[in-house]
Amino acid sequence: MASIITDELLKAVAKEFGRAAKHGDIGTGSEPLETSTELELAQYRKITTYFTDVNTCIVQIFLDETEANDQVYTNAGIVYGGTDALGTGKLLAGSDVVIDKSPYENTTISFELTFTRGV
């Protein structure tokens, strides 16, 4: 008997992923690999926000004009199970970025993850 993945399950996975991705890190290291468990040379951590649209979850790291200034950041990621301290938790998703943030700028880093049925 074959099992099916329903639309409701995909919605639930997207929502639970957003809840689990509590922190976002930005750093000065390399792009994360599929096997990475933390962000290389993480420099700054922030609590994330998220929203879902059907089976898509968008997790955001928002930096206001007073945060993470005067540094060029080259990677970013979202973390599960950590505390507010860098180096805790496990990397769920990450990317290479180029962010040269200075005072008086707000910056939002967004990760959009869509959960689909396998082939």
2 belongs to a structural domain? no
According to DSSP, the residues that pair with 109 across neighbouring strands are 61
Counting the structural domains of the chain, the total is: 1
CA-wise closest residue to 67 among 115, 6, 118, 109: 109
Write down the pLDDT at residue 118: 81
Domain that holds residue 67: 7-114
**What is the pairing mode between strands 49-53 and 56-63?**
antiparallel
Per-residue pLDDT band at 58 (split at 50, 70, 90):
very high
108 belongs to a structural domain? yes
Write down the pLDDT at residue 2: 73
42 belongs to a structural domain? yes
Helix (H) or strand (E) holding 10: helix 7-20
The C-alpha torsion from 106 through 85 and 18 to 4, rounded to 10°, is 140
Per-residue pLDDT band at 61 (split at 50, 70, 90):
very high
Q: What is the pTM of this model?
A: 0.92
